[in-house]
Amino acid sequence: MSVLDEIIAGVREDLAQRRLPLAQLHELMSTAPKVLDAHTALQGEQVQVIAEVKRSSPSKGALAQIEDPAALAGKYESAGAAVVSVLTERRKFAGSLADLDAVRQAISIPILRKDFMVDEYQFLEARAHGSDLVLLIVAALSSSQLKDYADLTQELGMSALIEVHTHDELERALEISPKLVGVNSRNLKTLEVDPQAFSDLIPRIPAGILKVAESGISTRKDVEFARECGADAILVGEALVRGGDAALTMRTLLGQG
């Protein structure tokens, strides 16, 4: 079993334990904050940042305690983040829907629910908790699931960030005419990071699709490389939560100080 398979198995087990009746979930959705336009937020002449609230990872273990995710998200917003990503997977990333709720109440920019989306329920759940953007990992989904989940995301008013790591995954992603494609330099099956994924895949994404470079970005040089490859935005977690001063780290990554 690969790392990705193991994570997904845990996600399904946790989902089975917290699943609410659909009527109750729809009631929560009816009172959720209005969807914010994440796609527009990630456009701009300068590289945009998706800043992540991330306590732990399968590859590095514990990264930061983050006792107050709302305060951290507020720092991200003040420092110029376009979107805040919140991990909600519990076993490997120490995240939760409570983190998502806290962040949603604290900031006014779009929020990405970062999780392994493998069940329709999770999309309704994401919207009920105020998500504006969800992650669809091509490696974790069949082609039919990818299309169905992308369609469901759109029906719910949210945006989908379609994540790829290989040429084959990119081809599958492009079949559903995505608006946002993320290239992850980390292989989720082995956890190895290879920045060459940026130079191999980002230039192959057609014009008109926003391109996000994910993982392995910790220095200004990394940001410049991603930008040279054609990235419109970067997703950064570990560097921000381990840097001590999240705002200063973000400014440094963006070449602002």
Name the residue among 153, 151, 161 with its Cα closest to residue 52: 161
- Residue 215 is among the residues annotated as catalytic for this protein: yes
- Residue 120 is among the residues annotated as catalytic for this protein: no
Name the residue among 222, 245, 228 with its Cα closest to residue 236: 222
Token digits for 117? 């989306």
| Choice among 54, 77, 131, 185 that is catalytic | 54
| Choice among 52, 125, 169, 238 that is catalytic | 52
**Helices first, then strands: H and E counts in the chain:** 12, 10
The secondary element (H helix, E strand) that includes residue 241 is: helix 238-242
**Is 207 within 8 Å of 237 (Cβ atoms)?**
no
| Choice among 77, 163, 169, 238 that is catalytic | 163
CA–CA distance from 144 to each of 60, 140, 152 (Å)? 33, 12, 12
- Please work out, in degrees rounded to the nearest 5, the angle formed at the alpha carbon of residue 197 by the alpha carbons of 193 and 198: 115
Q: Which residue has tokens 């470079």?
A: 213
| Choice among 85, 187, 215, 238 that is catalytic | 215
- Please work out, in degrees rounded to the nearest 5, the angle formed at the alpha carbon of residue 221 by the alpha carbons of 82 and 190: 80
Q: What are the residues facing 62 on neighbouring strands?
A: 56
| Choice among 184, 185, 187, 211 that is catalytic | 184
CA–CA separation, 247 and 13 (whole Å): 36
- Residue 211 is among the residues annotated as catalytic for this protein: no
Q: Which residues lie below 8 Å from residue 100, measured CB to CB, with a gap of 6+?
A: 86, 88, 111, 113, 129, 130, 131
| Choice among 77, 89, 125, 214 that is catalytic | 214
- Residue 114 is among the residues annotated as catalytic for this protein: yes
- Residue 45 is among the residues annotated as catalytic for this protein: no
Token digits for 249? 């780290």
CA–CA separation, 180 and 41 (whole Å): 12
- Residue 147 is among the residues annotated as catalytic for this protein: no
- Residue 214 is among the residues annotated as catalytic for this protein: yes
| Choice among 92, 114, 185, 211 that is catalytic | 114
Q: Which residues are catalytic?
A: 52, 54, 114, 163, 184, 214-215
